[in-house]
């Protein structure tokens, strides 16, 4: 609570001395957090487990700092008021439309706002493979220290873009993309210190990624209270830097967070097998039945024989279907976010107030991602458990593999249906359908990454997980990059792309249908 009060004092204080004092007191409070659990009436608490505190700080990082730029749509109006790219509206290509009661609207300016999001999303995806490689090489703690510096620099660059040059937002967005991807790798790895609950932690953290977008909605509210965006972004950068630094230097060291699980994966063990090895100790408590353990061991041995190298995975039907499905879903998601501002302006002309209100509501819907994301994992786990219960111990290994892959069908169908609804409703000028679209986008995004990770871990040997995950995200990022060429300022050409995406959304059903039909 004291930390929150100090943060508010830092943001709203008018005098520099008060802001500096609030910052010093806040850092002091963060340091006290590290040592209060160790002291009790002057004595050290003997069995305090820093793993839980590390996990909590990781969750805070995901909620507050990981995917902040996904909330940029809600900040467009405020960016215009701060005169970001306002110089573009002074040219004949600006197509200025303004009234005495409304903020200046410039189509070229809005196009550049969309470029900011494209830059962030593209850097996040295209650099996923090298970031994953460096993460595996240097470990969680070094990566956390690296991302704390990158995040701080990104916030500072975005902040000074309002005073120096608007074009500083592009390197800032590029760095935000790097920080978001690195932070995701670091915190998903925390699930490995709780092997029995790894899937749940991964799902919750994946859902929390979008939740951080609400920070920019908060900036919009503080802007109305007189706090400039420059102050808000610098504050965000400082507090993000402090929390990540504390987590990386102190807490992760106390919790002994290493990449042991990743090293074991690289030695040829799958993530599912790691969980099995940890949980076999609890067999006497009835946590895992002998039959399920035996079937999972058979499945493990089969995947290692089916996919001896990376090439055999990349050219397999199961991988290519997943690659195509993820790419379409991710492109639809990013295109929705990037074109949402223009789409709403065309759907609701001369209703600037309504459009701004609808844009601000996107982040409130994304808050639900933290609740929706675990549902995907729960559905897969229940489906897999149901399939395994019905199978005899002497079942053929290939048939076991096919039946296990069927456990993803239900979750994939939900994701595909929601994605198709988004493609259809986004072009209809109806306020109620806008909210339906927001809900379906939230479900699609929440399921997308949780399902992708779970699918790859289940279908292929875990020693290749980083590479096959990086390839999928890289391809999706390269496809998103072409959006630079298809940002249109007229409704006709914009809706042509939307109709094309309806067709591609229908193609997404091929993957779950294939899993249903395999025998």
Confidence of residue 129 (pLDDT cuts 50, 70, 90): confident
| Three-class DSSP category at 68 | helix
Tokens linked to 96: 């200025």
Contact 338, 114 (CB under 8 A): yes
Confidence of residue 110 (pLDDT cuts 50, 70, 90): confident
Contact 128, 109 (CB under 8 A): no
Interior/surface letters 434-463, b for 16+ CB within 10 angstroms, e for the rest: bebbbbbbbbbbbbbbbbbbbbbbbbbbbb
User: Which pLDDT score, from 0 to 100, does residue 16 have?
Assistant: 47
Distance CA 132, CA 330 (A): 19
Please check the confidence at residue 158 and state whether its pLDDT lies above 90.
yes
Global confidence as pTM: 0.68
CA angle 138/141/143 to nearest 5° reads: 60
Percent of the chain with pLDDT strictly greater than 90: 17
Give the rounded distance of the alpha carbon of 428 from its chain centre. 28
**pLDDT, average across residues 88-92:** 62
Phi and psi torsions of 500, nearest 5°: -65, -40
Distance CA 311, CA 331 (A): 25
For 269, which DSSP code? -
> Between 24 and 378, where is the model more confident?
378
Tokens linked to 421: 């609804």
Tokens linked to 121: 């999303």
CA angle 454/378/325 to nearest 5° reads: 40
Q: Dihedral of the CA atoms 149, 150, 151, 152 (nearest 10)?
A: 50
**pLDDT, average across residues 416-437:** 92
Q: Which residues contact 310 (CB under 8 A, 6 or more apart)?
A: 464, 467, 468
| Three-class DSSP category at 44 | strand
Confidence of residue 246 (pLDDT cuts 50, 70, 90): confident
Please check the confidence at residue 180 and state whether its pLDDT lies above 80.
yes
Distance CA 443, CA 423 (A): 14
Contact 443, 415 (CB under 8 A): yes
For every residue of 155-208, DSSP letters joined together read HHHHHHTTTS-GGGHHHHHHHHHHHHHHHHHHHHGGGGGSGGGHHHHHHHHHHH
Contact 479, 325 (CB under 8 A): no
Contact 434, 336 (CB under 8 A): no
Contact 304, 312 (CB under 8 A): no
User: What SS3 string covers 350-410?
Assistant: CCHHHHHHHHHHHHHHHCCHHHHHHHHHHHHHHHHHHHHHHCCCCCCHHHHHHHHHHHHHH
| Three-class DSSP category at 278 | helix
User: Do β-strands 39-40 and 43-44 pair in parallel, antiparallel, or remain unpaired?
Assistant: antiparallel
What is the distance in angstroms between the CA of the first residue and the CA of the last residue of the chain? 57
For the chain, what is the mean pLDDT? 75
Tokens linked to 236: 């965000």
3-class SS shares of the chain: helix, strand, coil, % to 5: 80, 0, 15
User: Which pLDDT score, from 0 to 100, does residue 287 have?
Assistant: 41
Distance CA 293, CA 279 (A): 10
**Neighbour count for residue 232 (Cβ, 10 Å):** 23
Distance CA 200, CA 457 (A): 15
User: Which pLDDT score, from 0 to 100, does residue 197 have?
Assistant: 64
In the beta sheet, which residues pair with residue 97?
A: 105
Percent of the chain with pLDDT strictly greater than 70: 72
Kindly report, residue by residue over 46-83, the tens digit of the pLDDT.
Answer: 445 677 888 888 888 888 888 888 778 778 888 888 88
Contact 333, 424 (CB under 8 A): no
What length is written for the chain?
519
Sign of CA dihedral 3, 4, 10, 13: negative
> Position of tokens 């001369």?
350
Distance CA 410, CA 430 (A): 30
Please check the confidence at residue 94 and state whether its pLDDT lies above 60.
no
User: Which pLDDT score, from 0 to 100, does residue 322 have?
Assistant: 93
Contact 479, 327 (CB under 8 A): yes
> Position of tokens 């806008």?
434
**Neighbour count for residue 246 (Cβ, 10 Å):** 19
Distance CA 486, CA 465 (A): 33
Cα 438 to Cα 325, 337, 367, distances in angstroms: 21, 10, 11
**pLDDT, average across residues 231-260:** 77
> Between 406 and 96, where is the model more confident?
406
Lowest mean pLDDT among 64-78, 181-195, 230-244: 181-195
Give the rounded distance of the alpha carbon of 465 from its chain centre. 18
């Amino acid at each position: 609570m004291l930390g929150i009060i100090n943060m508010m004092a830092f943001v709203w204080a008018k005098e520099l001395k008060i802001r500096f004092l609030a910052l010093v007191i806040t850092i002091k409070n963060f340091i006290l957090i590290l040592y209060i659990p160790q002291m009790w009436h002057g004595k050290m608490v003997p069995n305090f487990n820093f793993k839980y505190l590390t996990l909590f700080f990781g969750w805070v990082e995901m909620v507050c700092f990981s995917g902040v730029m996904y909330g940029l749509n809600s900040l467009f109006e405020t960016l215009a008021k701060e005169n970001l790219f306002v110089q573009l509206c002074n040219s004949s290509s600006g197509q200025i439309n303004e009234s005495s009661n409304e903020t200046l609207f410039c189509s070229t300016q809005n196009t550049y706002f969309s470029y900011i999001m494209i830059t962030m999303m593209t850097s996040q995806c295209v650099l996923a493979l090298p970031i994953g490689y460096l993460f595996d090489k240097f470990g969680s703690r070094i990566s956390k220290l690296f991302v704390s510096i990158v995040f701080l620099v990104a916030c500072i660059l975005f902040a000074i873009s309002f005073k120096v040059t608007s074009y500083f937002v592009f390197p800032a967005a590029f760095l935000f993309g790097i920080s978001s991807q690195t932070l995701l790798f670091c915190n998903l790895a925390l699930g490995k210190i709780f092997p029995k609950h790894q899937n749940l932690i991964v799902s919750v953290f994946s859902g929390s990624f979008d939740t951080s977008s609400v920070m920019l909605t908060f900036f919009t509210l503080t802007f109305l209270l007189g706090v400039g965006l420059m102050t808000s972004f610098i504050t965000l950068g400082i507090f993000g830097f402090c929390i990540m630094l504390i987590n990386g230097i102190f807490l992760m060291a106390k919790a002994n967070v290493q990449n042991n699980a990743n090293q074991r994966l690289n030695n040829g063990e799958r993530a599912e097998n790691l969980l099995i090895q940890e949980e076999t100790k609890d067999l006497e408590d009835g946590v895992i039945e002998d039959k399920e353990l035996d079937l999972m061991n058979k499945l493990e041995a089969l995947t290692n024989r089916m996919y001896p190298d990376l090439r055999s995975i990349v050219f397999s039907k199961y991988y290519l279907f997943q690659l195509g499905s993820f790419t379409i879903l991710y492109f639809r998601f990013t295109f929705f976010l990037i074109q949402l501002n223009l789409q709403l302006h065309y759907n609701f002309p001369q209703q600037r107030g309504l459009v701004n209100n609808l844009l601000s509501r996107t982040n409130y819907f994304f808050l639900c991602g933290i609740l929706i994301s675990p549902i995907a994992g729960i559905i897969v786990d229940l489906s897999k458990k149901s399939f395994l219960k019905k199978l005899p111990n002497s079942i053929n290994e290939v048939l076991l593999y096919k039946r296990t892959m069927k456990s993803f069908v239900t979750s994939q169908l939900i994701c595909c249906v929601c994605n198709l609804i988004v493609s259809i409703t986004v072009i209809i000028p109806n306020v109620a359908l806008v909210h339906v679209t927001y809900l379906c986008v939230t479900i699609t995004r929440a399921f997308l990454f949780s399902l992708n990770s779970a699918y790859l871990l289940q279908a292929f040997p875990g020693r290749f997980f980083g590479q096959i995950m990086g390839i999928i995200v890289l391809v999706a990022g390269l496809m998103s990059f072409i959006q630079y060429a298809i940002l249109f300022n007229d409704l006709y050409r914009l809706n042509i792309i939307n109709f094309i995406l309806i067709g591609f959304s229908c193609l997404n059903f091929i993957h779950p249908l294939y899993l249903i039909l395999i025998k």
